[in-house]
């Protein structure tokens, strides 16, 4: 959706307008903060909210400030990583999530995953969304992967704001040490054991979703998850392609290898946009999707707002759809 919304939380009225513009019914609108979901129709059938891009960008601005104050990065084992995790955790705790910090060691330094559970739903059917929160040491990592981290955070906060009570259990994760070789997500999947892994109905990964010269790539993995994302973009009239830049290059790989259904979105890294891709998506042919990939220029200036907005809304859509 291309509604221009300010950085504030949506009011009930704005949700109703957004819902109408999306062709939905006002009855499905989320209650305003402070009004419990129980007073309306069953929340589990409510439409997914439009994620406010201003809120996502506010999280990115904070991650940028954290990097700037900590030597220019948010890398594993550096103070900028822990500060990033503390920022995300405080938002989730205030919103009513049950948060867990999971410690591990990589390259002789302590790393952390952050897991946030939304109380309720079937504990034997967990729908999970995750993103890596660490940057490389050469830059602040705002597209890679502040973008996924901020969008997953804002989706979690939207669950809390709407009082969403889906049939399945919702879990959100922020991984450490992805840039060292998927260390945090491997640790989490290993620690779950086979019984824990069997309870995860799906894992959705978001790594680089606000590229400045963006493509719209959907992971070609679990068919139901893939279809959910494709349906969302088809509804907006936006063509998607299958992600081919590097299967297994992000935190869905350990889940996939353990037999968990996975999916995800990606807006492109150092590969160049073709003429055909520029024709359908706009942007600049012959240039990388993200010319600042793993560089010091991966700052808040390195974000494509439209891609970040669409992908954030797609995350919410998928989490709502897949948890019914
Ligand atoms: N963090 C990933 C990496 O550095 C980013 C990435 C590159 C990626 N190519 C990808 C993520 C393809 C998903 C799919 O490798
Ligand atoms: Ca939005
Ligand atoms: Zn990376």
Domain-wise residue ranges, the chain: 29-322
Query: Ligand 2 centroid to 305 CA: how many Å?
Result: 10
- 239/67 Cα distance (integer angstroms): 34
Which pLDDT belongs to residue 9?
A: 34
Active-site residue, from 30, 178, 226, 321: 178
290 lines ligand 1 (CB under 6 A): no
CA angle at 231 for the pair 236 and 314, rounded to the nearest 5°: 70
Ligand lying closest to the C-alpha of residue 132: 1
Query: Ligand 2 centroid to 137 CA: how many Å?
Result: 30
Which pLDDT belongs to residue 248?
A: 85
266 lines ligand 1 (CB under 6 A): yes
When the candidates are 3.40.50.620, 3.30.56.10, 3.20.20.70, 3.40.630.10, the CATH number that belongs to 29-322 is 3.40.630.10
Ligand lying closest to the C-alpha of residue 48: 2
- 284/267 Cα distance (integer angstroms): 14
Residue-level pLDDT, tens digit, the chain, 324 residues: 223 333 333 333 333 333 333 333 333 333 333 334 443 444 456 799 999 999 999 999 999 999 999 999 999 999 999 999 999 999 999 999 999 999 999 999 999 999 999 999 999 999 999 999 999 999 999 999 999 999 999 999 999 999 999 999 999 999 999 999 999 999 999 999 999 999 999 999 999 999 999 999 999 999 999 999 999 999 999 999 999 877 789 999 999 999 999 999 999 999 999 999 999 999 999 999 999 999 999 999 999 999 999 999 999 999 999 999
Query: Ligand 1 centroid to 267 CA: how many Å?
Result: 10
Element (H, E) at 204: strand 200-206
Which pLDDT belongs to residue 153?
A: 99
Which pLDDT belongs to residue 36?
A: 40
181 close to 248: Cβ distance less than 8 angstroms: no
pTM reported for the whole predicted model: 0.87
Active site residue 178: yes
- 42/95 Cα distance (integer angstroms): 20
Which pLDDT belongs to residue 6?
A: 33
Q: What is the largest CA-CA distance in the chain?
A: 54
For atom 4 of ligand 1, the residue with the nearest CA is 179
Which stretches within the chain are classed as H helix? 12-21, 53-68, 79-95, 148-162, 183-198, 223-236, 252-257, 275-281, 305-322
Kindly tell me the burial class for residue 42, based on how many C-beta atoms sit within 10 Å of its own C-beta (0-12, 13-18, 19 or more). exposed
């Amino acid at each position: 959706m291309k509604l221009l919304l300010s950085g504030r939380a949506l009011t009930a009225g704005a949700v109703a307008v957004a819902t109408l513009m999306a062709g939905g019914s006002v009855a499905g609108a989320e209650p305003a903060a402070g009004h419990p979901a129980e007073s309306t129709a069953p929340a589990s059938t409510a439409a997914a909210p439009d994620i406010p891009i201003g809120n996502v960008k506010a999280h990115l601005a904070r991650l940028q400030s954290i990097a700037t104050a900590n030597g220019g990065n948010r890398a594993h084992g550096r103070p900028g990583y822990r500060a990033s995790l503390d920022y995300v955790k405080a938002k989730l705790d205030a919103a009513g999530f049950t948060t867990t910090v999971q410690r591990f060691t990589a390259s002789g330094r302590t790393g952390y995953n952050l897991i946030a559970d939304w109380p309720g739903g079937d504990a034997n059917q967990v729908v999970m969304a995750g993103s890596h929160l660490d940057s490389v040491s050469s830059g602040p990592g705002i597209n890679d992967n502040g973008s996924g981290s901020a969008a997953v955070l804002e989706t979690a906060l939207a669950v809390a704001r709407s009082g969403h009570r889906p049939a399945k259990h919702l879990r959100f994760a922020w991984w450490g040490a992805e840039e060292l070789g998927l260390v945090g997500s491997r640790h989490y999947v290993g620690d779950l054991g086979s019984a824990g892994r069997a309870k995860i109905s799906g894992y959705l990964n978001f790594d680089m979703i606000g590229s400045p010269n963006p493509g719209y790539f959907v992971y070609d993995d679990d068919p139901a998850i893939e279809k959910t994302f494709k349906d969302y973009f088809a509804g907006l009239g936006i063509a998607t392609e299958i992600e081919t830049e590097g299967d297994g290059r992000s935190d869905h790989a350990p889940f996939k290898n353990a037999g968990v259904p996975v999916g995800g979105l990606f807006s492109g890294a150092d590969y160049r946009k073709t003429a055909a891709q520029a024709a359908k998506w706009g942007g600049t042919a012959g240039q990388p999707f993200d010319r600042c990939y793993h560089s010091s220029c991966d700052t808040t200036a390195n974000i494509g707002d439209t891609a970040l907005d669409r992908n954030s809304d797609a995350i919410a859509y998928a989490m709502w759809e897949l948890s019914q």
